[in-house]
Structure 1
Amino acid sequence: MNHTIRKLSSDETPPMDLLLLADPDQEIILSYLDRSSVFLMESEKGELIGVYLLLPTRPHTVEIVNIAVSEKFQGQGFGKKLLAHASETARSQGFLTLEIGTGNSSIAQLGLYQKSGFSISGIDFGFFLRNYPDPIWENGIQCKDMIRLSRHFS
């Protein structure tokens, strides 16, 4: 399927329903949304396939703070394409490191990120217990810890 990835324009509304697939707390999403660059993946018919947000966090470092593929399009390689686009965007903007975090229970995402060139760089133990009011369960595992991954560009 043909698709395009473009930056969200300032007069467009970010796709909250899609962002909530990756982060279940709208207040937390709103806390980083305005500081992030939002990129949309759309089909040739204009259907929304996916989204990712890039947020500069430290000098020479940018983080993918949210990445999601519409449930209708999951399992078709679009997440990998979004990650590749995010990497190329970060590199082209002069960043040396691209980071991403995911829950300890996000088994498929951990595999995808490592296959896409990211390496585990740390664990924030108890992150989801401290920052989310309701327990998060995925794959029969309670999401407690944030697994941090990074990709370095030379």
Structure 2
Amino acid sequence: MNYHFRQAEFSDASRIWIILQKAILRRKEDGSNQWQDGYPNSEVVLKDIEKGEAYVLVEGKTIIGYCAILVNDEPEYEKIEGNWLTNDDFVVFHRVAISEKYLGKGLAKIMIEYIEDFALKNNIFSVKADTNYDNIAMLKIFEKSGYSLCGEVYFRGSPRKAYEKVLTKAL
């Protein structure tokens, strides 16, 4: 397939929010408490775009996935119960969501590969992320993508599994 990954624009906000709303509903249907507390919401998406941290996975002109990418910016990660693999610069991604129509095609894994490429292009060799204990799909993606479980972090009072992948420089 012909996918590309780009920074989101304000004109993308409504499509991103539709994808996230359906992902929030899927998490609920899966019996998860992740994203069931009013977060993320449309204001979060707008703030991501405003800060230049919103990214979309696109097929042709259709937005099919969303995530936020931050560099060295996750205060909760400083309080990890456990140990990160590195203490250098890092990329962190949050709010990964794939359009309902595109589920089951490995697109979250593809999006994470784009995030890793983003890190390498910025000479950053660590990618960190977290997810709920009950987000089985994301836990499997971390495992298949070579991420190491480093400990636990807390968001809005809930424990989350924290992962890191150390990237190698391209030859």
Q: TM-score, normalised by structure 2?
A: 0.69
Q: Once the two structures are aligned, what percentage of the paired residues are identical?
A: 19
Is 1:77–2:106 an aligned residue pair?
Answer: yes
Which amino acid in structure 2 is aligned with residue 12 of structure 1?
Answer: S
**Which has more strand, going by share of residues?**
1
Equivalent pairs, count: 137
Which residue pairs with 2:160 in the alignment? 146
Which residue pairs with 1:16 in the alignment? 17
Is 1:51–2:66 an aligned residue pair?
Answer: yes
Which SS does the other structure have where 1:117 is aligned?
coil
Structure 2 Cα separation of the partners of residues 31 and 122 of structure 1: 30
> Which structure exhibits the higher relative contact order, with contacts defined as CA atoms closer than 8 Å and separated by 6 or more residues?
2
Which residue pairs with 1:90 in the alignment? 119
Change in Cα spacing, 1:99 to 1:83, as seen in structure 2 (3 Å) is same
**Which has more helix, going by share of residues?**
2
Per-residue deviation, 1:124: 2.5
Which amino acid in structure 2 is aligned with residue 98 of structure 1?
Answer: V
Structure 1 Cα separation of the partners of residues 148 and 51 of structure 2: 25
Which residue pairs with 2:57 in the alignment? 41
Which SS does the other structure have where 1:121 is aligned?
strand
Pairwise CA RMSD of aligned residues?
Answer: 2.5
Structure 2 Cα separation of the partners of residues 146 and 32 of structure 1: 23
Which residue pairs with 1:133 in the alignment? none
Which SS does the other structure have where 2:67 is aligned?
strand
Change in Cα spacing, 1:49 to 1:32, as seen in structure 2 (3 Å) is same
Segments of 5+ residues of structure 1 without an aligned counterpart are 131-143
Which SS does the other structure have where 1:148 is aligned?
strand
Write out aligned runs for 1:123-134 (5 A).
123-124=152-153, 127=155, 130=157
